[in-house]
Amino acid sequence: MDRLDELNLFVRVAELGSITAAARSLDVSVSVASQRLKQLERRLGVRLLHRTTRQLKLTAEGAALLEQGRPLLEDLDALTSGLERAGREITGTLRITMPAAFGRLHVSPLLPRFLARHPALGVHIAVADHMLDLAREGLDLAIRIGTLEDSALVSRKLAPNRRVLCAAPRYLRRHGTPRTPEALARHRCLVMVGRAGPMDDWVLRGPDEREHGVRVAGPLESNSGEVIRDAALAGQGIALLSTWHVCDDLRAGRLRTVLPDYRLPDGGIHAVMPQRRLVPPRVRALTDYLAKEWAGTPPWEKA
């Protein structure tokens, strides 16, 4: 029996004034309860109770232990009850990181309805286009786009990440529309820069499922998808961008798909979490919500 159990037994005896009543309330035998009280007294080296045939009376040391021990048990009970409730309810602060553009376009509009469903929940969002260390930053969840690197994190795919080649009509009028992947090498292409450097090797899969690889170059390289999109809208070249990023531009005709019969490798939009045995309910609630909102054909893919 650990010390908290011993303390709990002693407090029950003191409050109920009877070892028998305390034993009954804790579902142990009277003899076991008596033996444990004696063990507690031996370990502390003091007498806690004066026992007579008619009553139990606290010693000065017993009264001091009751005075200081009861609040400890009450605090522990409040803490464990709160944690058990938190395990069932959506409470606390959910700390998330996500890419700035994706968060603004496709997560931020969904948050008011999510928060209305969970009024006891708070959300802290850190937008960052570089990968934050979830454990070091104290984050519960990251939304990441693309192929995930092997790590100690766990992930859940929320939606596909389809990518397209696109350009502004003015660029295509001025420079022509490429008809084959190989023709991209002769065009001005806008190149994203990743952690490993410029992403200038574009691989496309044709209608016959044959892969075509081409090295591209152009007037602009950037690690910001927003910068690449803006340059494409300004007619500066052909860009490789995710449909979630340019869906409105494609619908409005500000950008046009280039080589629509060729597919680029798809990645995914993932919820990434620290490795945990138990996922907090607040994290599970948001990932379930986003997965449902983006199930099937995501909103940005719909006409």
Q: Are residues 182 and 251 in the same domain?
A: yes
Q: What is the pLDDT of residues 34-75, one digit of tens each?
A: 888 888 888 888 888 887 767 788 888 888 888 887 777 767
Choosing from 65, 88, 111, the residue where a domain stops is 88
Please choose, from the candidates 130, 104, 95, the residue with its C-alpha nearest in 3D space to the C-alpha of residue 300. Answer: 104
Q: Are residues 101 and 239 in the same domain?
A: no
Q: Are residues 157 and 285 in the same domain?
A: yes
Q: Are residues 78 and 148 in the same domain?
A: no
Q: Are residues 167 and 252 in the same domain?
A: yes
Q: What is the pLDDT of residues 110-134, one digit of tens each?
A: 999 999 999 989 999 999 878 888 8
Q: Are residues 153 and 175 in the same domain?
A: no
Please choose, from the candidates 160, 111, 183, the residue with its C-alpha nearest in 3D space to the C-alpha of residue 297. Answer: 160
Q: Are residues 178 and 224 in the same domain?
A: yes
Q: Are residues 234 and 274 in the same domain?
A: no
Within 13 Å of residue 158, how many CA atoms lie on the same side as its CB? 26
Spatial contact of 120 and 91, defined as CB atoms under 8 Å apart: yes
CATH code at position 37? 1.10.10.10
Q: Are residues 283 and 138 in the same domain?
A: yes
Q: Into how many domains does the chain fold?
A: 3
CATH code at position 99? 3.40.190.10
As a whole number, mean pLDDT of residues 18-45 equals 86
Q: Are residues 13 and 33 in the same domain?
A: yes
**What pLDDT, on a 0 to 100 scale, did the predictor assign at position 277?**
60
Choosing from 68, 88, 108, the residue where a domain stops is 88
SS3 231: helix
Give the mean pLDDT of the chain.
88
Alpha-carbon distance values, 243 to 97, 170, 214, 225, 263 (Å) = 21, 20, 21, 12, 12
What range defines the domain where residue 104 resides? 92-161+267-301
**What pLDDT, on a 0 to 100 scale, did the predictor assign at position 295?**
92
Q: Are residues 71 and 189 in the same domain?
A: no
Q: Are residues 233 and 170 in the same domain?
A: yes
Choosing from 42, 64, 88, the residue where a domain stops is 88
Q: Is the pTM of this model over 0.85?
A: no
